[in-house]
């Protein structure tokens, strides 16, 4: 494999602000899952993961098998890409989000306009079906020399981390250990998995002002399992079961796992698609760019998002519910994983949301009510200095809103994306 020499990406220093009410997340030790087919799973792991994903819905995972240097190499490639791709190449490779509902390629800043505010997130998305040589031209020429390395890393996410997580989750659903893997394994021919590099640039103060410091609106991911490679900028927040946003603490060389809509549907709602968002970091990180590396896994595109009712626990969780009632009433089947992904990508951030009586933004996708959250206050550190700077300046910031008992109308902010 080529390992072209490029400047190493040095993780930015962690914030000195540490007195947050951090999200108390469980840690999955992936080395406990063994066997050639990654199907030897201790009972204690099944219990731990089952509890985590039916409550908080987020977990750390460690001992995945890559060294931190191997992971940082991907961050270096990502940074190199964002630093060197020319405007012409960005234009040439822009992802067809509106028509095809696909993130594959380059996502420019500002594709999402909400209430006149443009997002400040650039992305490069590598599709699992688009690593073959004939597909290389989809990607900017500046990153083409790295596609082999990116592909290998992407495969590692799928073939090791995802496979282990799906083995555990199949057992959580009391199904044969390979069930969820069998629905996901053909990602290079029938899948829409994405390896994503993302660069969050600090917004101009007026944008932060308008959006209350929120940079990616509270959302659920669209896919099955999201693998977020931990990075040091303190910005990711999870909406916990007690309805409080808590920050996810950086752990070097760990991943943060969460589940998306597709897993929620297929498990009859037993497994949670947890709401999360990205907010401005503490003062000492405000000026920094935030680089992210993510793997968004999905079931193969033709898999219907029907609950797996052969599982007794799924059946029980689904009792009295019908995710696809509206479609059935029109004589239509449940959507497939691919359809759901494309519909959400197309709609995302295009202004189709409506404010609900609960204050959240709602989008109707395939007859399902999809919520985008902005109005719940963030839990903050106890000291004044530790609050994100943007949260100190606005009368209507989330912090102030909390003190006003949430009487303000929530703002519409950029919704997230994918996954
Ligand atoms: O930037 C992050 O940490 C999370 C990004 C995210 O939630 C998404 O892209 O769906
Ligand atoms: Fe997300």
Looking at the DSSP bridge assignments, the partners of residue 250 are none
Q: Which of 276, 297, 298, 372 for mutating ligand 1's site (highest number of atoms within 8 Å of CB)?
A: 276
Give the pLDDT of residue 309: 98
Category of 243 on φ-ψ map: left (φ > 0), alpha (ψ -120 to 50) or beta = left
Ligand 1 centre distance from Cα of residue 245 (Å): 15
| Secondary structure element (H or E) that encloses residue 360, with its range | none
| Strands in 298-357 per DSSP E | 354-355
* Phi–psi pair at 143, nearest 5 degrees: -105, -10
- Mapped onto helix, strand or coil, the DSSP state of residue 127 is strand
Any ligand 1 atom below 6 A from CB of 282: no
Task: Write the burial class of residue 376 (CB in 10 Å: 0-12 exposed, 13-18 middle, 19+ buried).
Answer: buried
- Mapped onto helix, strand or coil, the DSSP state of residue 377 is coil
Looking at the DSSP bridge assignments, the partners of residue 364 are 369
Any ligand 1 atom below 6 A from CB of 276: yes
Any ligand 1 atom below 6 A from CB of 278: yes
Give the single-character DSSP code of 291: E
Ligand 1 centre distance from Cα of residue 66 (Å): 22
Looking at the DSSP bridge assignments, the partners of residue 214 are 279
The minimum-distance atom of ligand 1 relative to the CA of 196 is 9
Q: Which of 217, 220, 236 for mutating ligand 1's site (highest number of atoms within 8 Å of CB)?
A: 236
DSSP letters, 157-199, are: IIIIIIHHHHHHHHHHTTS-TTHHHHTTS-HHHH---EEEEEE
Give the pLDDT of residue 374: 67
Instruction: Name the residue at shortest CA distance from atom 3 of ligand 1.
Output: 236
Tokens of 236: 């990711």
Any ligand 1 atom below 6 A from CB of 233: no
Ligand 2 centre distance from Cα of residue 239 (Å): 12
**Count of residues making up the chain:** 419
Question: What gap in Å lies between CA 27 and CA 371, rounded to an integer?
Answer: 28
| Other beta carbons within 10 Å of 99 | 8
Any ligand 1 atom below 6 A from CB of 59: no
* Phi–psi pair at 156, nearest 5 degrees: -60, -45
Any ligand 1 atom below 6 A from CB of 419: yes
Give the pLDDT of residue 419: 32
Any ligand 1 atom below 6 A from CB of 292: yes
Helices (H) and strands (E) in the chain, counts: 14, 17
Give the pLDDT of residue 257: 98
Question: What gap in Å lies between CA 111 and CA 18, rounded to an integer?
Answer: 34
Q: How far is CA 122 from CA 9, 80, 100, 200, 218, in A?
A: 17, 13, 19, 7, 18
Any ligand 1 atom below 6 A from CB of 163: no
Give the pLDDT of residue 381: 40
Category of 91 on φ-ψ map: left (φ > 0), alpha (ψ -120 to 50) or beta = alpha
Question: What gap in Å lies between CA 175 and CA 41, rounded to an integer?
Answer: 13
Write down the domain spans for the chain. 27-323
- Which of 412, 362, 370 has the alpha carbon at shortest distance from 214? 412
Category of 383 on φ-ψ map: left (φ > 0), alpha (ψ -120 to 50) or beta = beta
Q: For 287-336, where are the alpha helices, taking DSSP H only?
A: 312-318, 325-329
Ligand 1 centre distance from Cα of residue 141 (Å): 26
Q: How many Å separate Cα 297 from the centre of its chain?
A: 10
| Secondary structure element (H or E) that encloses residue 69, with its range | helix 68-84
Question: What gap in Å lies between CA 69 and CA 109, rounded to an integer?
Answer: 29
Give the single-character DSSP code of 378: B
Question: What gap in Å lies between CA 334 and CA 363, rounded to an integer?
Answer: 18
Any ligand 1 atom below 6 A from CB of 210: no
The ligand with the least distance to the CA atom of 295 is 1
Any ligand 1 atom below 6 A from CB of 291: no
Question: What gap in Å lies between CA 245 and CA 238, rounded to an integer?
Answer: 5
The ligand with the least distance to the CA atom of 248 is 1
Q: For 109-267, where are the alpha helices, taking DSSP H only?
A: 147-156, 163-172, 179-182, 187-190, 205-211, 261-266
Cβ burial 184-213 (10 Å sphere, 16+ → b, else e): bbebbebbbbbbbbbbbebbeeebbbbbbb
Question: What gap in Å lies between CA 147 and CA 355, rounded to an integer?
Answer: 42
Find out whether 5 and 232 touch, Cβ atoms under 8 Å.
Answer: no
Return the CATH architecture of domain 27-323: Sandwich (2.60)
**Predicted confidence pLDDT, tens digits, the chain (419 residues):** 557 899 999 999 999 999 999 999 999 999 999 999 999 999 999 999 999 999 989 999 999 999 999 999 999 999 999 999 999 999 999 999 999 999 999 999 999 876 678 999 999 999 999 999 999 999 999 999 999 999 999 999 999 999 999 999 999 999 999 999 999 999 999 999 999 999 999 999 999 888 888 899 899 999 999 999 999 999 999 999 999 999 999 999 999 999 999 999 999 999 999 999 999 999 999 999 999 999 999 999 999 999 999 999 999 999 999 999 999 999 999 999 999 999 999 999 888 888 888 888 899 999 999 988 865 444 444 333 333 333 322 222 332 232 222 222 333 333 333 33
């Amino acid at each position: 494999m080529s390992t072209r020499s490029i400047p190493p990406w040095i993780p930015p220093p962690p914030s000195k602000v540490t007195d947050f009410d951090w999200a108390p997340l469980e840690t999955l030790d992936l080395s406990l899952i063994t066997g050639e087919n990654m199907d030897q799973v201790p009972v204690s792991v099944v219990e731990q993961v089952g509890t985590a994903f039916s409550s908080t819905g987020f977990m750390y995972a460690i001992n995945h098998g890559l060294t931190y240097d191997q992971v940082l190499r991907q961050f270096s490639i990502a940074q190199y890409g964002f630093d060197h791709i020319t405007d012409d190449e960005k234009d040439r490779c822009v992802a067809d989000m509106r028509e095809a509902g696909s993130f594959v390629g380059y996502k420019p800043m500002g594709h999402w306009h909400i209430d006149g505010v443009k997002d400040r997130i650039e992305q490069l998305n590598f599709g699992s079906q688009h690593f073959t040589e004939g597909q290389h031209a989809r990607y900017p020429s500046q990153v083409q020399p790295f596609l082999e390395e990116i592909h290998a890393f992407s495969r590692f996410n799928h073939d090791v981390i995802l496979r282990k997580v799906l083995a555990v989750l199949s057992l959580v659903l009391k199904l044969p250990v390979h069930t969820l893997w069998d629905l996901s394994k053909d990602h290079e021919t029938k899948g829409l998995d994405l390896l994503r590099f993302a660069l969050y640039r600090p917004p101009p103060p007026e944008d932060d002002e308008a959006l209350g410091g929120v940079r990616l609106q509270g959302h659920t991911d669209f896919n099955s399992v999201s693998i977020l490679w931990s990075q040091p900028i303190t910005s990711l927040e999870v909406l916990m079961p007690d309805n409080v946003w808590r920050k996810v603490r950086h752990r070097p060389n760990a991943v943060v796992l969460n589940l998306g809509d597709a897993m929620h549907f297929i498990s009859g709602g037993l497994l949670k698609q947890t709401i999360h968002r990205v907010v401005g970091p503490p003062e000492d990180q405000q000026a920094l760019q935030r680089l992210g590396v993510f793997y968004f896994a999905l079931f193969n595109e033709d898999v219907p998002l029907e609950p797996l009712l052969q599982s007794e626990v799924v059946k029980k969780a689904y009792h009295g519910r019908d995710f696809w009632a509206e479609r059935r009433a029109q004589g239509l089947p449940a959507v497939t994983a691919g359809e759901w992904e494309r519909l959400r990508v197309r709609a995302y951030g295009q202004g189709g949301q409506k404010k609900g009586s609960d204050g959240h933004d709602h989008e109707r996708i395939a007859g399902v009510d999809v919520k985008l959250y902005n109005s719940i206050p963030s839990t903050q550190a106890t000291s004044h200095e530790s609050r994100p700077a943007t949260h100190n300046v606005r009368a209507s910031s989330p912090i102030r809103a909390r003190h006003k008992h949430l009487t303000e109308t929530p703002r519409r902010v950029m919704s997230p994306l994918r996954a």
